[in-house]
Structure 1
Amino acid sequence: MRLSTSQFYQNNLNHITNKSGQASQQLDKLSSGVRVQTAADDPVAANSILNYKQELNKIARYQNNINLGENRLRREESILTSAENISQQAKELMLKANNGAYTPQEKAALADELNSRIDELLDLANSRDEFGDYIFAGFQTDIEPFVRDSNGSVSYQGDAGQRELAISDNVKVGLNHDGQLVFGQVPNPKGDFTVDYSGLEGGVREQGVMVEQAVINDATNVATAQPYTLTFSGSAGEVKVLVTDGEGNALLDKNGDPLTAQPYQPGESIEAGGLSITLTGEAKDKDKIILNANDTGDTGERGVFEILNRAKDWLSGEGNTASEQSEYADILDELDAVGGHFTRIRADTGIRLQRLDNQRETHADMTLTVDKVRGGMEDLDFAQAVGELNQTMVALQATQSVFGKLQGMSLFNYI
């Protein structure tokens, strides 16, 4: 087989060009530290590397969501802590106010201070996050959730929505508690009723009569039968109590018979008409207590601002009548319930924060594992790469040297 001079030159130039390109690629891989730069380098590994990178990008997005959720929840936790402190301050004011030596002016000053605490709590309830959205408005983040009217009553304008954020493929965490839950659903310490003590007779008592617990066991007729009235009769040591419905009819016992007035025993439960009522304290002849439920026959929850406004209204009275003292004891119980309610909501926020921390650690471990596997496929083995580059350079130099010598050969050199 004959080789022309042009073929000889072309073959050697192609060989030098290939070796030069191979050396260039190897230098590029050494500079980048990446073994698989294109799918042509290793098709099977390239597909796996792409999947691993997508998984790492997804984990990074979840980590960003976790950071965002943590910021939101820590802000809410701080607000709830402040709200809890305000409820405690309100109770301290009420404890301070129960002093018969205080003048009306001094009580008015305490009422002004309590009103200031209510203003602070309202500001907290209308707090915004870093994006300007209302935290406690549910899904209505652009609407101020709590509005106070001229009478001081506070109403909720938001909804019960809870915004959620994905922190893993199958895990979501709530970013907020709605305002109705936080500020409108304080468990009623009395049970299912609100209590009106205005019918108590005057006079100082060692411990005024009060409702310790009033719950609904059978709500069939509660909405239509209320308000219920507890009427006391008799002299000291022989006081009796009768429970009647809104029309003045005595409630029925478990046998379906109307109850008659029965001896009042503090601490003993009265079971009648689907109700269970427990009373404590000293009762007197002609005392009356009224129990009210809402239209659904249940007031198992109270509003924070409703409770605080009730406390403020109490400060405008004398505070030393039997009805006021019984109401005062109820207010203290309700303020304790407010503080406990804020604590429970804050604890739930803490549980969510702990869940974020746990998921962050899980993602961090998964990132290390996935990145290690990806690195094993994609990253360059520098020792091997340097060796291969040296071999390529030696081959290139040999080819160039041989080609230089061969292209200079001629028969004239031997004549």
Structure 2
Amino acid sequence: MRISTVTMFDQSVASMNRQQSDFLRVSQQVASGRRVVNPSDDPQAASRAVGVSQSMAVTQQFADARISARNTLSQAESVLNSVSDALTSAKTLLVKAASDTLSDVDRQSEASVLRGIYETLIGQANATDGNGRYLFGGYNDDAPPFARTSEGGVSGTQYNGDENAREQRIDASRLMSVADNGKAIFQSVPSGAGYVARAERDPAAADATSLGVQTGYSANEGSVTFTSGPNRVDPGDPAFGENFTIAFVDVAGEMHIQVEDPSNPGDFLYDAPYVSGETVSFGGVSITLEGTPADGDQIQLRPANDEGANQDLFKSLKDAIDVLEMDQEGTPENRAHYRNTINSVMRELDNSLDNVLTVRASMGARLNELDVVDAVGTNRMMNYDQTLSDLVDLDYSAAIAEYSLRQVGLQAAQRTFVDIRGLSLFNFL
């Protein structure tokens, strides 16, 4: 059979092109370090690699979200640490101010220090995360959550933020609160907090001159004070957890203490003559009273988490500042009002501090959880890296061996073409 010169040339060129293509493919693999450079190299591995790469991208997004969440929580926890220190300082100052040895001038000096703590706490409650977002405003984080107010000549603060906790997804199955709202921190008390007492009388019950203890209530006219309590003595009492009003009533010229049963109006949980320094118990709580009450004076006892109880940290401090600045020397009623307010504020500050510490503990737990989720995410990313490497990465030992083989094949094809091209019948004549 005759083989034409054109056929020999075509076959030789095709062989060289095939060998050169294989050689270049292996060269590209060695240069890139990847076995699958183009999807056509291994369609199944390339398809799986795309899925793994997408999973890695999602995992990295969650890792970035955890960094943002950790920064926010760390800043908020740092602010609450300063708040805790400020509350401790305020409580120490009030313990000192409760001493009868201080003069009005001394108390006014202490009021100036307490006002500085008050201003500091408002600034901390309006702290930002460094990017212009307010930490404690909930989802309304574009404006200060706490604003100053002035109603009827009485200044205070008002919460204007959102009452939700701002959340962020840190993993596919975990939505975490990264910023607690200011109302839950500065205007709430922890669950299980006890009773808080306020020496005040309902103006509907008696006519008295208001000293600004609480809007809607007036200061007592007498000098009765609560020196201990209210204390929890029997949480199992059926009336425990209700609001109580200790009323001082003149009965036939003798001062009586009357505590009406909240569940059965007209019935009394306690009705007995008043004895200064005596501890009275009712509804599962007890309180020790001293001084000389006036007819119509009242002491309100409320669970700390009741709507009628003061849960506002800033109001507690403002009440303390007001009584510290009040002229009380020589006036038994003012001194009693001063002691009662200081005692009430110290109990409220204790509750506020407990609440702040509870929120801080929650933040610490979330920071620890972020560390755990980070560890899980790191392990997941390592598994993805290994899977992706198994799919597309190059085995250099095998690739170098194939590289040498393809190089020899290409050289052989080139040499064969040279030899075949030189063949002619005239070489045999």
Common fold: TM-score over 0.5: yes
Quick one: distance in 1 between partners of 2:322 and 2:307? 24
Out of 298, 308, 311, which is 2:307 matched to? 298
Q: 1:353 to 1:301 in 2, by over 3 A?
A: farther
**Matched ranges for 1:301-312 at <5 A:** 302-312=311-321
Out of 262, 273, 281, which is 1:269 matched to? 281
Deviation at 1:129, TM superposition (A): 1.5
SS in 2 for 1:130: coil
Quick one: distance in 2 between partners of 1:299 and 1:331? 15
Q: 1:259 to 1:335 in 2, by over 3 A?
A: closer
Segments of structure 1 that go 5 or more residues without pairing to the other structure are 245-250
Out of 368, 384, 391, which is 2:405 matched to? 391
Deviation at 1:217, TM superposition (A): 6.5
Q: 1:127 to 1:67 in 2, by over 3 A?
A: same
Letter of the 1:101 partner, please give it.
T
Deviation at 1:268, TM superposition (A): 4.9
Quick one: distance in 1 between partners of 2:197 and 2:99? 28
User: How big is each residue's C-alpha offset from its partner over 1:6-64, in whole Å with a ceiling of 9 and x where there is no partner?
Assistant: 12111111111111111111111111111112221111111111111111111111100
Letter of the 1:47 partner, please give it.
S
Out of 173, 176, 179, which is 1:173 matched to? 176
Q: Would the aligned equivalents of 1:193 and 1:298 in 2 still touch at CA under 8 Å?
A: no
Segments of structure 2 that go 5 or more residues without pairing to the other structure are 202-218
Quick one: distance in 2 between partners of 1:413 and 1:14? 26
SS in 2 for 1:149: strand
Deviation at 1:310, TM superposition (A): 1.3
Quick one: distance in 2 between partners of 1:297 and 1:376? 63
Aligned counterpart, 2:58: 58
Out of 318, 329, 332, which is 2:346 matched to? 332
Deviation at 1:261, TM superposition (A): 2.5
Q: Would the aligned equivalents of 2:259 and 2:268 in 1 still touch at CA under 8 Å?
A: no
Q: 1:292 to 1:153 in 2, by over 3 A?
A: farther
**Matched ranges for 1:172-191 at <5 A:** 172-187=175-190, 191=195
Q: Would the aligned equivalents of 1:229 and 1:291 in 2 still touch at CA under 8 Å?
A: yes
Quick one: distance in 1 between partners of 2:33 and 2:7? 38
User: Bigger shift: 359-368 or 123-132?
Assistant: 123-132
Q: How many residues align?
A: 395
Quick one: distance in 2 between partners of 1:28 and 1:300? 77
Deviation at 1:110, TM superposition (A): 1.5
Letter of the 1:116 partner, please give it.
G
TM-score (norm 1): 0.85
**Matched ranges for 1:67-78 at <5 A:** 67-78=67-78
Q: Would the aligned equivalents of 1:240 and 1:264 in 2 still touch at CA under 8 Å?
A: yes
Aligned counterpart, 1:314: 323
Aligned counterpart, 2:83: 83
Q: Would the aligned equivalents of 1:186 and 1:304 in 2 still touch at CA under 8 Å?
A: no
Quick one: distance in 1 between partners of 2:112 and 2:268? 48
Letter of the 1:40 partner, please give it.
S
Aligned counterpart, 1:202: 223
Quick one: distance in 2 between partners of 1:168 and 1:210? 48
User: How big is each residue's C-alpha offset from its partner over 1:71-124, in whole Å with a ceiling of 9 and x where there is no partner?
Assistant: 010000001001111111111211222333333222222111111111111111
Aligned counterpart, 1:278: 286
Quick one: distance in 2 between partners of 1:399 and 1:297? 94
Q: 1:191 to 1:96 in 2, by over 3 A?
A: closer
What CA RMSD, in Å, does the superposition of the two structures yield over aligned residues?
Answer: 3.3
**Matched ranges for 1:225-244 at <5 A:** 228-231=245-248, 240-243=256-259
User: Bigger shift: 280-289 or 180-189?
Assistant: 280-289
Q: 1:355 to 1:385 in 2, by over 3 A?
A: same
Aligned counterpart, 2:111: 111
Aligned counterpart, 2:40: 40
User: How big is each residue's C-alpha offset from its partner over 1:204-253, in whole Å with a ceiling of 9 and x where there is no partner?
Assistant: x8x7476446999679xx8xxx994521669xxx9742135xxxxxx478
Letter of the 1:231 partner, please give it.
F
Q: Would the aligned equivalents of 1:231 and 1:243 in 2 still touch at CA under 8 Å?
A: no
Q: Would the aligned equivalents of 2:197 and 2:230 in 1 still touch at CA under 8 Å?
A: no
Letter of the 1:404 partner, please give it.
V
Q: 1:69 to 1:291 in 2, by over 3 A?
A: same
Quick one: distance in 2 between partners of 1:325 and 1:192? 14
Quick one: distance in 2 between partners of 1:88 and 1:396? 84
Q: Would the aligned equivalents of 1:12 and 1:403 in 2 still touch at CA under 8 Å?
A: yes
Deviation at 1:259, TM superposition (A): 6.3
Quick one: distance in 1 between partners of 2:82 and 2:182? 15
Quick one: distance in 2 between partners of 1:260 and 1:229? 9
Deviation at 1:411, TM superposition (A): 2.2
User: How big is each residue's C-alpha offset from its partner over 1:149-191, in whole Å with a ceiling of 9 and x where there is no partner?
Assistant: 2433000111112221111111111110011111111359553
User: Bigger shift: 24-33 or 97-106?
Assistant: 97-106
Aligned counterpart, 1:96: 96
Q: Would the aligned equivalents of 2:45 and 2:391 in 1 still touch at CA under 8 Å?
A: yes
Quick one: distance in 2 between partners of 1:190 and 1:196? 19
Out of 395, 400, 412, which is 2:414 matched to? 400
